[in-house]
Amino acid sequence: MKIRIFLACSLLSIVGGPSYATTYPLPQNSGDTVVTQYPDGVALTQAAQDETLLDVARRFLLGQTEVVRINPDMDRWKIKKGEIVRLPNKRILPDTPHKGITLNISEYRMYVYPPGQPGTVMSFAHGIGRQDWKTPLGLTKVARKIKDPSWHPPESIRREHAAMGDPLPVVVPPGPHNPLGAYALYLALPGEYRIHGTDIDKIYGIGMQITHGCVRMYPEDIEQLYNVTPEGTPVYIVKQPIKVGWLDNMLYIEAHPDLEGEEMTQDERYAVALSLIQKANNNELPEFDQKVLNEVLTKLDGEPIAIYERLPPIEETLDLPSEPLQIQQAPQKPSPSLTAKPSPIKQAANQPKRSRQPSPDGYFHGF
């Protein structure tokens, strides 16, 4: 595999000044769901000075958890000048409709299908609610948007802060220390749930389970999301720690750690993975690489890894002559292997479409 190395300074120059969310082209094959930022290799960056993995995450607008887990042998607090740090590259799209916004709280990341930009998906890191203030699951929508919002902390939060010796005012006005940041998208859920920015005091908490239930984003990211998201946009909030998807006839699996207080056993995790693999392969369990699957479910580093390769459809492999051959022999019956069954892709295309319905487990069922 080729390894593509990007120095921090050169990557920043590529994106043209301030960093923004990664925009991925959707795969050419309609059934594929693995997106790639650098198709020819692994993305790396070299520390230009002594820093931390949190600094790297901030510079590339990554979540703290994802950059730490993809570099398990590095000390998050001590990155020496010249050290090479790995960056995420491939991602498997969550199992939701490809429209609006999907928040997969298991990976602290959202996927946005911007209107007017067909064939693309944007991805942003975000923080979520901690164990005692869980972010709710389900389908909702953006009810309203506010620039420079004021924060009216609920009485429960004011009591919590007062107990810690950090009393809060009844209203926190807009400004650099407002926890909502400069932009807020209010969701159509009871309890004032929002997708919002962050203040300068909590800028390194993106990609962690630390909020009171809301979804917190980097200042640059929430501004971009605010500008491309109209009111009424559907928002799918799901919990999918394990994802499976195809790319060019390769089946990939991606696994993330469980959220705090929601740990699965290894047997439960394996059962979920088998179910998703079977679902992705026309409800048949293929002869996949079990060793690789076990490694993915043990590391839980969020990196998509290929576990199975299928043969391409028949019409993609046959190299038929442009003119009929002149064969002097009795006519032969067509080979059953070429005519008895249409290709898997065409079979899927001919099946009636069924709507996807959310379920309590955080996955969408159907198709």
Q: Which residues are catalytic?
A: 196, 214
Query: What are 208's two structure tokens?
Result: 């962690």
Contact 24, 89 (CB under 8 A): no
Q: Which long-range contacts (CB under 8 A, 24 or more apart) does 25-32 make?
A: 25/119, 25/120, 26/98, 26/119, 26/120, 26/121, 27/247, 27/248, 29/246, 29/248, 31/246, 31/345, 31/348, 32/245, 32/246, 32/247, 32/248
Compute the distance between CA of residue 336 and CA of residue 323 in angstroms, rounded to an integer: 23
CB-based burial of residue 241 (10 Å sphere; 0-12 exposed, 13-18 middle, 19+ buried)? Answer: buried
Dihedral of the alpha carbons of 138, 190, 229, 237, in degrees to the nearest 10: -20
CA-based R_g, the chain, Å? 23
Helix, coil or strand: residue 344:
helix
Query: What are 346's two structure tokens?
Result: 């065409």
Compute the distance between CA of residue 244 and CA of residue 273 in angstroms, rounded to an integer: 8
Contact 89, 36 (CB under 8 A): yes
CA nearest neighbour of 37 among 66, 64, 11, 65: 11
Question: Measured between alpha carbons, how far is residue 323 from residues 75, 186, 326 in Å?
Answer: 64, 63, 9
Sheet strands side by side (includes 42-46): 3-5, 42-46, 84-87
CA nearest neighbour of 129 among 174, 188, 194, 67: 194
